[in-house]
Structure 1
Amino acid sequence: MLKQSYAWSLALAGLSLAGSPLALADEGQWQPHQLPQLKAELKRIGIAIPAEKLADLSRHPMTAIVSLGGCSASFVSPSGLAVTNHHCAYGAVQRNSTAEKNYISDGFLAKTRAEELPAGPDSRMYITDKVENVTARVMQGITPAMSGKQRHEHVEDRIKALITECEQDKAYRCSVPSFHRGLEYYRIRQMMIRDVRLVYAPSDKIGNFGGEVDNFEWPRHTGDFSFLRAYVGKDGRPADPSPDNVPYQSRDFLVVSAQGLKNGDAILLAGYPGTTSRYKLPAEIRFARDVSYPARVADYQSDLSVIAAATSGNASAEVRYASVVKSINNRLKKTEGLLAGFARKDIAAIRDAQDAQFRQWYAQNRSDTSLLKELDAVIASDMALTEEEFAWSVATNSDLLKSARTLYRLALESSKPDTERKAGFQQRDVSFITARLNRLEQSFLPNVDQARYTASLQRYNQTDARLRPRGLDLLLPTPESVVALYRQSELGNTAKRLAWLNKDASAFLQSDDPFIQLAVKLHDTGMSLEDRRKEVDGNLERVIPQYMQAVIDWKKSQGKPVYPDANSTLRVTYGTVAPYSPRDGISKGPFTTVEGIAEKHTGKAPFIAPDNLLTAIREKRYGVFKDAALGTVPVDFLSTADTTGGNSGSAVLNKNGELAGLNFDSTYESITKDWYFDSAITRAIHVDIRYMLWVMKEVDHADNLLKEMQIRYPAK
């Protein structure tokens, strides 16, 4: 039987919401065990599922929610069929595509299990089944005399030991992330399924309709959905990909509701949100706004223009880099949206006022005022080092160089006992490293990587010399000499690249491969940066948790809810279907419809809709998927749920816990919610399950999948 255990510490007691005037905002990405504290609020908005059931990882619906390691998904059949976003499966679609057989533009549907395609060597499904508070065990042995680096390495060693203990059964992957910026640590055990296959993805004319033009925009008409299937060995346990594997028998799955939602209906959203920064200090916000984000935007824009020029007119190259471009574009638009949000609302000034109130409360309720001075100092050191780390990332932006550096580091770490290796280079990580090295086969071309690295070195040479890691300039190739590196290196060959996995450090020192030589040459500088990061992080891990405990106590004194920042762990949020007003005089409704697709269709990318979809709209073949109030099929809808990156593919559940939609985006005005949740304009964007089912039936004829799922249709 699955278990879930929690050691309720004093810190968690500080999270109690009893008697708090919770919200009128649907803010909060809640750990499942916190949901019973929200019982009254969930009932108020209309959720019928008992909060205690939602908190139990061994019961439906939480047993149906899975992570894809960067996206979320949910099981929708007892045979391991999982639904997620189209953009979450985009890599799998791209890896199986060629210029002649282009599943990106044509779509893909396996009519039988035998036709399902490998999602990729690095594709995984993670099913969380156990969470336990291990804060005391992580902190055991820490002394005040430790330097920041010593403290950080001690915590790393404790975490590695806890993971090793948890992973005695190799079917599981364990992690020990921190919550509240290091105040608490939870050990999370997940079954890790290693054989994931692509089942169905509509054409990108549906799954990515509107492209980057519509990204983060509303109204939206994107059918951002696809299906994957989990496979295991015949014994029911995770196994390496094999033709002999069988579909995973999911413990639970979600019933799909074609009954639909309407304005004002309550929803729950469950998934694995990436990162938020709701508890950052004003100085950290200004650093992101004025320094870090503008630098990232410029770097993304330059990289995209280089890739576009290097792949222009070459259909095969464009397919090969499609997933890379999509990923960079998404990061770019989100960062641009964050900057626009910072310009629209002075979040730093809002934080200034909150910080002043907190410091006044702190002075009245704490005798030790040195903490806040130390806090400001460690934050300043963190920001300074972050600028150097960004310069390093620009100077090393080459897929072949990254591969060489990874391989050399693995060789060095492999000479140590496994428990002493750097996390990420232990034996448990070798399969992931191998998968990443394999993945280049589908997303790398020497001439494109060469162009990217040449341009990156040129950008690096234009950065302020004071922000560059000391001594790095003398070690780097000149932009003019890069062509020779690619001409002479054999790392572009997959078999030869993988062969380095089994070589020791001496082989790297003797190699005449220019990228191997460069990796060896850069290693000490990289390690120096890493050691400095450990010192800074260790000091942050000593000071920030004390600050966070004080913040929790302060908010508790005001009766305000407290939840940890998102950190890629399982979370539940709630809200209602709702319109919004982005600015004065403009109101945007919560639903879009298929008629909007026909209106947007221009015949030119990114607004090209498939002919058979347009025909179905013109003939109004809506059937049971027609919304009575709208008089047509809804495509996407808005809710007030609190989401962020990583929530892509998250199940949107109706009040009874049935699947009503999939989260896939946020409105442009909402992007700054990673830093500040503004209930008036924060809206998440979801694909309506009725549109998904309608496309499957009327456009792509995925009847085999419709039969496999348990669908609750509207009463006739």
Structure 2
Amino acid sequence: MKKLLICFLLATFVLPVQANEGMWFLMHIERLNYRDMQKMGLQLTPEEIYSINNSSLKDAIVQFNRGCTAEIISDSGLVLTNHHCGYSQIAELSTAENDYLTNGFWAGNHAEELKPKKLSVRFFVRMDDVSKRILGQVNDKMTEAEREAAINREIAKIEQENNEGGKYTVSVKSFYQGNEFYYFVYQDYNDVRLVGTPPANIGKFGGDTDNWEWPRHTGDFSLFRVYADKDGNPAEYSPNNVPLKPKYHLTTSLKGFEENDFAMILGYPGRTNRWMPAGGIQQNVEYAYPAWVEASKTSMDVMKKYMDKDQQVKLDYASSYASIANYWKNRQGMIDALTQHKTAESKRNEEKAFQKWASKKGNDRFEEVIPVINNYYKNTNKASAHDNYLGLLLRTRMATIPYRLGNAMDYYLQQNEAKQAEVKPQLEAEINDLYEGIYMPLEKDVLAAQLKLYSTKAENIAPMVARIATANNKSEAGWNDYLNTAFENSIFQSKEKVEAFMANPDAEVLKNDPLFQLSTDLLKRYRYESEEEKQLNNDFERAYRLMVQGMREMNPDAKYYPDANSTLRLTYGKVIALPEDKRNDAVKNYYTTLKGTIAKYQPGDDEFDMPQKLIDLYENKDFGQYADNDGYLPVNFLTDNDITGGNSGSPVLNGKGELIGLAFDGNIEAMAGDVIFDDQLQRTINVDIRYVLFLIDKFAGASHIIDELTIVK
């Protein structure tokens, strides 16, 4: 069940799609979407968007660090993405003395660009349908485990056949809940360097208060550069590497746009669940998401206490805190939106129609699908809450470091002297990585708060945790006392104690280490699956796959798109407003201006402070060539594109394929969009490219970056 909670389900929406709904495969654009896109304003051909043999738009779109999207905007490998996508790398490169996260950073030349330890971009090369080949390996008599094993064997062959001796990364993905399969070929570049970032009070202006809200006034962008060897091939970092000469880079537009203008977005959306049954929606609203929200807030409260006291701690934990805070607000927004829109009720009506169809002659193989699905959710509701409490607990570093290192140490101790000499450098490197930037007082207090929450709110908890909680009356003070003693007596209390242990390792000391025992207990519970759960999961996965298959057969003329699963997609729509909002100073509520940004200014506030230079530029109306024709400086704007997490950093393109903005958020009113699409409420919030260029040029004075770009006016 845990797999389903973490990476829910691959599918599509079953009703006829709206014009702006859908996350489409590029290889299907000509067959499914091209005529609609032309009518809305597209001026490109399908070949100009996706071509295997020639350079095309897809060659400028990259997956950024496996979690966001970015785009190539110059012929020297310049990469544009969101500030929040580069946040962890900017924080990593920052110190209390050189605080790029707070103050910003702009490299004056290539030599000044900064290399984070780990950062990569992934270029999409091609894709193809291998559904018949893979499904030819399975039959209805197989258990789900047997089916999965057969599929994985064939996937391994396909990936090996297409990687060209390791040149490419090949990934086969399941779609429509295992009813279709496609392979994707990628090329990865690992030498990616920071070029520029605005200060946090521009790149993260509005903070958690404005997150998922409109009107927005955020300069959410950062710049990186891809480096390659002298022949343009991927290479690990070297001072001899050179900026990549890409196959294609985007043209940047200063022409602006009007309401109802065509807008398309290409990117790597992470996850949607638009086939999710009513029972799954209800489970999330009543059990899973409330646990997530409560556990997230628990961590945030403790972390903020320490981050506010120490700037280096704030930098070290900035990315982790931002990630937790983002999903905390997202999950609460999902609860509210799914409840308000009665999404579960809507899904139940669809399921009733499906059940009626399934009862007809010839459809009998689908007749038990909905009852099996409903039985699964009925029997896993409380377990879903448990898994979310435990999942957030396991995001606490000291809940997992002892298990991870302890098992590596145990493996080391079991080897002969020669093998130990071979693996010791890897173990030492892992120790350095795991303890880098860690602040133990924070970690211990977060762990105590999470253990107290888990032991009092979840059912059927980890056995050792249950025993300790009972002995300490389940109180946070009791957990603090226990952990104080456990940390004091643990080899995992600090990097120095771990290194001291490695100098004179002892298997019995490791076995009896209190933090290793606690961490092992938590991970074992997280991975535990009873025989009853295994059977529930087996029945559910088969029923879910049949439901998707049956609903597609029931509506054979509908136009389908796959659910998001971090593969490259295109979504198209329009620049479009929300109803009038008095908080927005703009003439129409589809854009915001620098005037509105200044109006939010609160000196010294963590979320709404801003640099004096930005205020001076506004007061002097020193907007350069980046002002709109009506004289204002645009900041953010709205489109009705269908996006989700992973689309952060995606380019917003006009009908000519020119860059007009950068997607960075959605609106909280449409937070149910991952489950059910609402064409009236769904909005994508974007940074206007003119604001990005204004900040690079007029604010930062980095005109050499502007000179790299291909700009149309």
Bin for the TM-score computed over the shorter chain = 0.7 to 0.9
Paired residue for 2:566?
568
Q: Distance in 1 between matches of 2:151 and 2:493?
A: 37
Deviation of 1:445 after TM superposition, in Å, equals 1.1
In the superposition, relative to structure 1, how do residues 472 and 140 fare at CA in structure 2: closer, same or farther (>3 Å)?
Answer: farther
Name the amino acid aligned to 2:543. V
Q: 2:79–2:225: 8 Å Cα contact kept in structure 1?
A: yes
* 5+ residue gaps, structure 1: 1-13, 416-429
Please report how far the alpha carbon of residue 233 of structure 1 lies from its aligned counterpart in structure 2 after TM superposition: 2.9
Report matched runs for 1:131-170 at 5 Å. 131-167=127-163, 169-170=165-166
Give the match for residue 543 of structure 1. Answer: 543
Which residue pairs with 1:468 in the alignment? 461
Aligned to 2:364, the other structure's residue is in SS state coil
Per the alignment, residue 690 of structure 2 pairs with 690
Distance 2:231 2:188 in 1: 15
Per the alignment, do residues 21 and 395 of structure 1 end up closer, same or farther by CA in structure 2, a change over 3 Å counting? closer
Please identify, of 143-152 and 468-477, the stretch whose mean Cα deviation from structure 2 is larger.
468-477
Greater alpha carbon shift after TM alignment, 262-271 vs 579-588: 579-588
Residues 125-524 of structure 1 mapped to structure 2, 5 A cutoff? 125-167=121-163, 169-364=165-360, 366-368=363-365, 369-380=367-378, 383=381, 385-394=383-392, 396-407=394-405, 440=434, 443-465=437-459, 467-468=460-461, 473-474=466-467, 479=479, 480-491=481-492, 513-520=513-520, 524=524
Return the alpha-carbon distance in structure 1 between the equivalents of residues 13 and 91 of structure 2.
46
Distance 1:613 1:526, change over 3 A: closer
Is the CA contact 1:397–1:456 (under 8 Å) kept in the aligned structure 2? no
Q: Deviations over 1:224-247 (max 9, x none)?
A: 111111122334322222323222
Distance 1:43 1:313 in 2: 56
The DSSP-based 3-state class of the residue aligned with 2:273 is coil
Amino acid at match of 2:353: Q
CA-based RMSD:
3.6
Contact 2:575 2:639 survives alignment (8 Å): yes
Relative distance call for 1:288 and 1:508 in structure 2 (3 A) is: farther
Contact 1:597 1:609 in 2 (8 A): no
Deviates more, 1:389-398 or 1:615-624: 389-398
8 Å Cα contact 2:291/2:385 also seen in 1: no
Q: 184-193 vs 270-279, which deviates more?
A: 184-193
Residues in 2 aligned to 1:56 and 1:324: alpha-carbon distance in whole angstroms:
38
Structure 2 unmatched runs, 5+: 1-10, 414-424, 473-478
Q: 1:696 to 1:395 in 2, by over 3 A?
A: closer
Aligned 8 A contact 2:410 2:507 in 1: no
Task: State how far apart, in whole Å, the 2-side matches of 1:233 and 1:216 are.
Answer: 40
Query: Structure 1, residues 652-702: CA drift from partner, whole Å, max 9, x if none?
Result: 111001111000001111211111111111111000001111111110011
**1:16 & 1:681 partners in 2: Cα distance?**
17
- Contact kept in structure 1, 2:491 and 2:501, CA below 8 Å: no
Distance in 2 between residues matched to 1:192 and 1:530, nearest whole Å: 39
1:199 counterpart SS class: strand
Equivalence for 1:421 = none
- Looking at structure 2, the residues matched to 404 and 176 of structure 1 have their Cα atoms a distance apart, in angstroms, of 34
- Report deviation, 1:151: 3.7
Q: Mark the CA change 1:482 to 1:134 in structure 2 (over 3 Å): closer, same or farther.
A: farther
Q: Cα distance 1:279–1:691, how it changes in 2: closer, same or farther (>3 A)?
A: same
SS in 1 for 2:647: coil
Residues 52-91 of structure 1: pairs in structure 2 closer than 5 A? 52-56=47-51, 59-68=55-64, 69-91=66-88
CA deviations over 1:69-113 (Å, ceiling 9, x no partner): 110000111222110000101111111112222111210111111
Contact map agreement 1:49 1:655 (CA 8 A) in 2: yes
Identity, % of aligned positions: 29
How far off its partner does 1:468 sit? Answer: 2.7
SS in 2 for 1:360: helix
Over 3 Å counting, the alpha-carbon distance change for 1:516 and 1:462 in structure 2 is closer
1:402 maps to a residue whose letter is T
Residue 193 of structure 1 aligns to which amino acid in structure 2?
Y
Task: Report the residue type matching 1:353 in the other structure.
Answer: N
3-state SS of paired residue (1:118): coil
Q: 1:658 to 1:566 in 2, by over 3 A?
A: same
Q: Distance in 2 between matches of 1:490 and 1:660?
A: 54
Letter in 1 for 2:609: I
Is this contact kept in 2: 1:256–1:709, CA < 8 A? Answer: yes
Q: Is the 8 A contact 1:142 1:154 kept in 2?
A: yes
Q: 1:441 to 1:246 in 2, by over 3 A?
A: farther
* 1:147 and 1:535 in contact (8 A); partners too: no
Where does residue 475 of structure 2 map in the other structure? Answer: none
Q: Contact 2:124–2:185 (CA<8 Å) still a contact in 1?
A: yes
Partner residue of 2:21 out of 4, 21, 27 = 27
The one-letter code sitting in structure 1 at the alignment partner of 2:562 is: P
- 1:118-168 deviation line (CA, Å, top 9, x unaligned): 2332x2211111222233444454454544444444444544454455446
Tell me which amino acid in the other structure corresponds to 1:263: E
Gap change, CA 1:407 and 1:57, over 3 Å in 2: farther
Rounded Cα–Cα distance in structure 2 between residues aligned with 1:379 and 1:199: 48
Q: Tell me the secondary structure at the aligned position of residue 73 of structure 1.
A: strand
Q: Deviation of residue 22 (structure 1)?
A: 5.8
- Equivalent of 1:41 in 32, 36, 40: 36
In the alignment, the residues of structure 2 paired with residue 197 and residue 639 of structure 1 have an alpha-carbon distance, to the nearest angstrom, of 31
Instruction: Measure, in 1, the Cα distance between the counterparts of 2:169 and 2:342.
Output: 41
User: Match of 2:371, as an amino acid?
Assistant: K
> Are the equivalent residues in 2 in contact too, given 1:180–1:564 (CA < 8 A)?
yes
Task: Confirm or deny: 8 A CA contact 1:625 1:633 kept in the other structure.
Answer: yes
Q: Deviations over 1:515-539 (max 9, x none)?
A: 4444455565444339987665544
TM-score (norm 1): 0.86
Question: Bigger CA drift: 161-170 or 99-108?
Answer: 161-170
| 1:15 and 1:552 in contact (8 A); partners too | no
Between the aligned partners of 2:598 and 2:583, the Cα distance in structure 1 is: 26
User: Could you give the per-residue CA deviations for residues 33-72 of structure 1, whole angstroms, max 9, x where no partner exists?
Assistant: 2211112210111111123432435532111100011100
Tell me how far apart the structure 1 counterparts of residues 507 and 238 of structure 2 sit (CA, whole Å).
Answer: 33
Instruction: Give the AA of the match of 1:625.
Output: Y
Contact 2:62 2:71 in 1 (8 A): yes
What does residue 104 of structure 2 align with?
107
Distance (whole Å) between structure 2 residues aligned to residue 533 and residue 74 of structure 1: 43
Please state how far the C-alpha of 1:217 moved relative to its aligned partner.
1.1
Pairwise CA distance, 1:394: 4.7
Q: Secondary structure at the match of 2:33?
A: helix
Decide whether the 8 Å contact of 2:68 with 2:649 is kept in 1.
yes
- Amino acid in structure 2 at the alignment position of 1:65: I
Cα 1:159–1:83 shift into 2, 3 Å: same
1:31 is aligned with what amino acid?
F
Q: Distance in 1 between matches of 2:12 and 2:368?
A: 25
What secondary structure does 2:572 align onto? strand
CA distance in 1 between partners of 2:631 and 2:492 (Å): 58
> Does the residue aligned with 1:176 lie in a helix, a strand or coil?
strand
